Structure 1
Amino acid sequence: MDLAQQREANFGKDNHLLRNQIISEYLPYVKRIVNRIAVHLPATIEVDDLINVGVIGLIQAIERYDPSRDNKFITYAVFRIKGAVLSELRSRDFLGRTTRRKIRDLEKAYLKLEQKLGRDVTDEEVAEEMDMDLEQFYKVKRMSSISFVSFEEVGYTSHSEGTSVSGSLAGGDTSDALSLTTMKEIKSTIAKNIDLLPEKEKLVISLYYSDELTMKEIGQVLNITESRVSQIHAQAIIRLRSKLRRDGLLEE
C-alpha cells in the first residue's frame, strides 16, 4: 500500500466523501486554468483530456496539502493543477524539437538585434537576421505564440506559489521548490523585464496574467480586435522569453 492509499484508508469514508465534495467545489478552477492554457495550444489538443489531468492535480493537492504551512489551499491547489497540466503537455512535446529550435532561434534573434540597435526591432529586421522570408517568419512566430511554455513556465500568475522554473512546476513536492527568497528574486527579474516592454505589450501582459482578463475582454478594454490582442501578446511573450532565457530562467 503506497502513501496515498494509506492516507485514504486512514481518512475513512467521511473523508472520502469530503474529498469528492472538494473536487466538485474546485472543478471550475480546474476548467479555468486549463482553458487559459489551451488558448495558446493547437486545436488538436483535447481540452477535456487536460481537464482530467487537472483533476488529478487537484486530488494530489487535497492529499498533500499541509494546513500548517503559510499558504491557502486554493493557492496550493492552483500550483498542483497547473503543474499537472504543464507536465502532461511537456510529455507530449506536440511542437517537436525542430520547431522548438526555431522558436529559440527567433527569441535569440530578437534579443541580439535589440541589444545591437538599442531599440524595438521590426518583423522584417528579424526575418532578415534569421535569413527567412516573411511567410516563414510569421509561421514560426505563430508557433511561438501557441507554445504552452510562457509565463506559466516561470509562475507569473496572480495565484502562483512555490517555483516553476523550467520544470519544477511540473509536479515536484513544494518542499523541493526553491526558497521563498529565490522565488522573490525570480519574480523581481520578471517584473523588471516586463517594465522594459513597449507600453501596449506591457498593458496586455498585465491585463491577461495579473487581472486574468480574456483576450476578448482585453480587446474591449483597449478598443482593438481580439486578433490584435493575440498578436500583441505573442510579441510580448517572444521578447520576454528571450530575456528570461538570457537571465537563465528558461532552459536552452
Structure 2
Amino acid sequence: MADQTRSRLSHQEVWQRWKENKDADARNTLIELYLPLVDYVSSRMAAGLPKNVTKDDLVSNGSMGLIDAIEKFDYRRGLQFETYASWRIRGAIIDGLRQGDWVPRSVRDKAKKMEDAYAVLEQKLLRSASDDEICAYLNISEKDFQQMLQEVAVAAVFSLEDPIRDEESETRLTLLVDDKAINPESKVHETYLKDSLKIGIEKLTAKERIVVSLFYYEDLSLSEIAEVMSLSPSRISQLHSKAILRLRGALSKHREQLLYNG
C-alpha cells in the first residue's frame, strides 16, 4: 500500500514538472511510463482487423494518440489518465485506419444494406429480426448472408466510433460507455441517442448482448470472449457484427428523426 502511495506521488510530481515547467525530460518519462497502454490497446484492436493491417501500424498511430493525450491531460482534475489516454490512443488508431481506407467500398455498401435491413425489419416487427428474415428481405441465401457477415466484420470494428454528427468529434460509443462524456450544448440530441441505443440493445439477442457487454464494458478481446462463451472466434465475430449492424440501424433511425425535426 505504501509503495502504491509513493508511486502515485512520484507520478504526480512528474506531471507537475511537465505541465507547470514544460520539462522535456518529464514529458519523455510520461511517454515511457504509459507506452505499454499503447501496446495493450493496439493488441485488442488488432484481433479483429485484416492481416494486411500490421500491429506496428496500430502502435505507430496509437503512440501519436498517447503523446496527444499527455499534451492535453489536466492532472489537477483528479481524473485517471489511463482511461483518458485509452480513448485518445484508440481514436488515433482509428483515424489512421480511416486515412488508409482499408475497408473496400463494396464492403461498406454491403454493411449499409444489412444495417438498413435490420433497421426496417426491426422497426416493423418491434423485435429482433432473425437471420432468415434478413435473408428474405435482402433476397439472398443463408450462405451469402454468412459470407456478407464475414466481410463486414472488419468494418464493424470501429463502427460505433463514427461521429454522432459529421461536424463533431464525439462518438456514439462515448455515450454507450461513459455518461460523463455528454456535451451540454447537444444534450437533447444525445438524450434521444441514448434512448435509441437502449432500444437497440434491447433488441439484440441474448448472445449478442453478452458479446457487446464483454467487448465494450469488460474490455475483453474477441478471442477472450470466444473462450468465455465456448464459441469459435469466427462465431463471436459474427455475433459482434450483427449486434453492431442492429445498433447502427437503430441509430440511423435516430439520425433521420433529428434531421426531420431539425
CA apart distance, 1:205: 0.9
Q: Which amino acid aligns with 2:237?
A: S
CA apart distance, 1:189: 4.0
CA apart distance, 1:57: 0.9
* Correspondence 1:201 to 2:208: yes
TM-score, normalised relative to structure 2? 0.73
Instruction: Give the match's secondary structure for 1:247.
Output: helix
Counterpart CA distance in 1 for 2:137 and 2:105 is: 21
One of 217, 223, 242 as aligned partner of 1:216: 223
Comparing 68-77 and 41-50, the one that deviates more: 68-77
CA apart distance, 1:231: 2.3
Moved over 6 A (4+): none
Structure 1's 126 and 244: CA in aligned 2 closer, same or farther, altered over 3 A? same
Contact 1:144 1:238 in 2 (8 A): no
Aligned residue in 1 for 2:3: none
Counterpart CA distance in 1 for 2:170 and 2:28 is: 28
CA apart distance, 1:24: 1.8
For residues 99-153 of structure 1, give each alpha carbon's deviation from its aligned partner in whole angstroms, at most 9, with x where no partner exists: 2122111110122122333443333332332233444333322222211333344
Aligned residue in 2 for 1:41: 49
One of 84, 90, 97 as aligned partner of 2:105: 97
Structure 1's 149 and 232: CA in aligned 2 closer, same or farther, altered over 3 A? same
Paired positions, count:
228
Counterpart CA distance in 2 for 1:143 and 1:49 is: 22
Unaligned runs of 5+ in 2: 1-17, 174-181, 257-262
Contact 1:144 1:234 in 2 (8 A): yes
CA apart distance, 1:80: 1.6
Structure having the larger proportion of residues in helix:
2
For residues 71-107 of structure 1, give each alpha carbon's deviation from its aligned partner in whole angstroms, at most 9, with x where no partner exists: 4322321222122111111112211333212211111
Unaligned runs of 5+ in 1: 1-7, 156-161, 167-176
Percent of aligned pairs with the same residue?
A: 34
Instruction: Give the match's secondary structure for 1:17.
Output: helix
One of 175, 178, 197 as aligned partner of 2:183: 178
Q: Which amino acid aligns with 1:207?
A: L
Structure 1's 51 and 146: CA in aligned 2 closer, same or farther, altered over 3 A? same
Structure 1's 59 and 230: CA in aligned 2 closer, same or farther, altered over 3 A? same
Pairwise CA RMSD: 3.4
Aligned residue in 1 for 2:250: 243
Q: Which amino acid aligns with 2:183?
A: L
